[in-house]
Amino acid sequence: MVALTRKQKEMERRAAEILRVARPILIAEGFQGLSMDEVALQMEYSKGTIYKHFHNKEEIVLALAVQSMELRRRLFEQSASIVAGSRLRMMALGAACEFFTQHCTDDFLVEQCIRHQGIWEKSSEQPQNLIRQCEGQCMGIVAGIVREAISQGELADLAGLSPEELVFGFWAINYGSQILTHSSPSLPAIGINSPLNAIRVHCCKLLNGFAWQPTMMIEEYNQEMTKLNETLLPKFWSVKNQQSQYIN
Amino acid sequence: MVALTRKQKEMERRAAEILRVARPILIAEGFQGLSMDEVALQMEYSKGTIYKHFHNKEEIVLALAVQSMELRRRLFEQSASIVAGSRLRMMALGAACEFFTQHCTDDFLVEQCIRHQGIWEKSSEQPQNLIRQCEGQCMGIVAGIVREAISQGELADLAGLSPEELVFGFWAINYGSQILTHSSPSLPAIGINSPLNAIRVHCCKLLNGFAWQPTMMIEEYNQEMTKLNETLLPKFWSVKNQQSQYIN
DNA sequence: GAATTTTATGACAACACGTCAACAATTGAC
DNA sequence: GTCAATTGTTGACGTGTTGTCATAAAATTC
């Protein structure tokens, strides 16, 4: 029994080691550049052993994505846990998104890898469920704030959307902007100098469009975001460093 | 001179043939599944000849993406060319996005391929510029409507954004939702039953948030979208069929 | 019709994933 | 302490990929 758990621990330690080695390769070289031989070389184990832990390359990437999505989820948890009205808490989630965009670019790259044909087909169900679970938790956090806003009377009209569908819009705009920012090499060349600020403005306008109380002009919105960041940024950094430490 | 242009024509014909063969493979099998040997086999030429036209696999994909982005651009042109107020024309662009999401899923897949690390690094500059050019044109179409709205007094306050940055928000929300719809296998499981409708509502609210005149409640917005689609859908289909014909 | 330039080819080198027979280490019974 | 049995590790190998390049074929020029 003790031996079994020791073995299990050893297994987990090695799985973590594989991910620790694979992550920087994936980030630097992309999915194609991530070579199993290279991973085997960099840790002191052979390829066969790696395949004892992960059935294929895709599952390694999925496991890395789970780590990154959990970072995002923990940032969200920090944001949602502040004591404030529903609109401010929603804005705090926006701050988490801004933080993730600015300071967790590597994690975003990993996340993006899995939004791709061929990754899902080859992997087994278990890691897929982990991803969905984490996605569902993130959604739950945000949808919870929407529900609270409704019950508090701060958000009256969803225009026929479910709370989750309302969240979907914010999810899409943040996720979309992050992808475009990363993969459109020359946004400034087509007139977009600060995508981050642009999305902040859009989120403000979107909240106003839904008449989520208290409505704010952009100046006030920015002031509140600054205040929120003063509180949240230390927490965000702490969460991120904690994860880095755990990962490395 | 005549001989030269004939040769050039022959070259172009063959380049098009390569793309014609490669496209369905890319769509069905993904970037990895697209094999140069397979392409060579399906057309009646050898691999070496293909490499005369495209330096590597990535450039083939980029060329395919240009085709798909041009389809999107032509849809946008159709939308922008209707005679109506600026907000309705903006909504017409939304209709184009809806059409692209619903009926051009293959083209979207191709577009998504290029938003990926490793594609850009390996290709030369020329095809990259084609992409950026097309991207810039799409941006120009939409930003033109924003500028018109401003000059007509239908859009008073951009909250400090440039017209392009305003467009960026709509770009991001549409692009993001499309990616999430495609790659999150179980949106319904987390409460999102109609992502398309959700994004439509968000666009309406976003336009309202910017006080883009005339502001509309969602019911009216839906009615106008229905009317727009009556006019536009035939045009969209015509554009799409035209391209299919050109491609195949 | 021969010489030269241009073009097409597919065998080849380099490298990747994933497997598996052979080999090493650990365990546990006596 | 010994040795069989089980469990764990390995890296060469089969298959498949990209991209190259010497060679062969075709076209063009003279």
**pLDDT tens digits, one per residue of B14-50:** 999 999 999 999 999 999 999 999 999 999 899 999 9
Residue B7 neighbours by CB under 8 Å, 6+ apart: none
* Token pair in block for residue B196: 């398309």
What amino acid is encoded at B195 in this protein? P
- What pLDDT sits at residue A94? 98
B199 in Cβ contact with A167 (< 8 Å): no
Alpha carbon distance A49, A52 (integer Å): 5
pLDDT at A1 over 50: no
* Token pair in block for residue A246: 């755990």
The 10s digit of each residue's pLDDT in A217-244 is 999 999 999 999 999 999 999 999 998 8
Per-window interface: B 28-67 vs A, CB < 8 A:
29-33
User: Which residues in B lie closer than 8 A to residue A137 (C-beta atoms)?
Assistant: none
B59 in Cβ contact with B39 (< 8 Å): no
In this complex, is the C-beta atom of B139 within 8 Å of any C-beta atom belonging to chain A?
Answer: yes
* Token pair in block for residue A26: 């994936």
Question: Helix A125-151 to helix A86-103 angle, to the nearest 10 degrees?
Answer: 140
**Nearest neighbour of B164 by CB, restricted to A135, A192, A204:** A192
**pLDDT band per the 50, 70, 90 thresholds, residue A34:** very high
User: Which residues in A lie closer than 8 A to residue B112 (C-beta atoms)?
Assistant: 115-116
Which nucleotide is at minimal CA–C1' distance from B48? C9
The 10s digit of each residue's pLDDT in A129-146 is 999 999 999 999 999 999
Alpha carbon distance B64, B141 (integer Å): 22
What amino acid is encoded at A208 in this protein? N
Q: Is the CB of A35 under 7 A from strand C?
A: yes
Alpha carbon distance A116, B115 (integer Å): 10
Mutation pick from B205, B218, B225 vs chain A, by most beta carbons of A within 10 Å, is B205
User: Which residues in A lie closer than 8 A to residue B190 (C-beta atoms)?
Assistant: 132, 135-136, 139, 164
B99 in Cβ contact with B239 (< 8 Å): no
Q: Is the CB of A49 under 7 A from strand D?
A: yes
* Token pair in block for residue A241: 């460093």
Alpha carbon distance A70, A58 (integer Å): 18
Alpha carbon distance B46, B37 (integer Å): 8
**Mean pLDDT, rounded, for B240-247:** 86
The 3-state secondary structure of B128-190 reads HHHHHHHHHHHHHHHHHHHHHHHHCCCCCCCCCCCHHHHHHHHHHHHHHHHHHHHHCCCCHHH
- What pLDDT sits at residue B117? 76
B176 in Cβ contact with A173 (< 8 Å): yes
pLDDT at B1 over 80: no
- What pLDDT sits at residue B9? 83
Count the neighbouring beta carbons within 10 Å of the beta carbon of residue B67.
Answer: 18
The 10s digit of each residue's pLDDT in A172-215 is 999 999 999 988 878 999 999 999 999 999 999 999 999 999 99
Q: What's this model's pTM, rounded to 2 decimal places?
A: 0.94
**pLDDT band per the 50, 70, 90 thresholds, residue A84:** very high
Per-window interface: B 152-171 vs A, CB < 8 A:
159-166, 168-169, 171
The 10s digit of each residue's pLDDT in B135-177 is 999 999 999 999 999 999 999 999 999 999 999 999 999 999 9
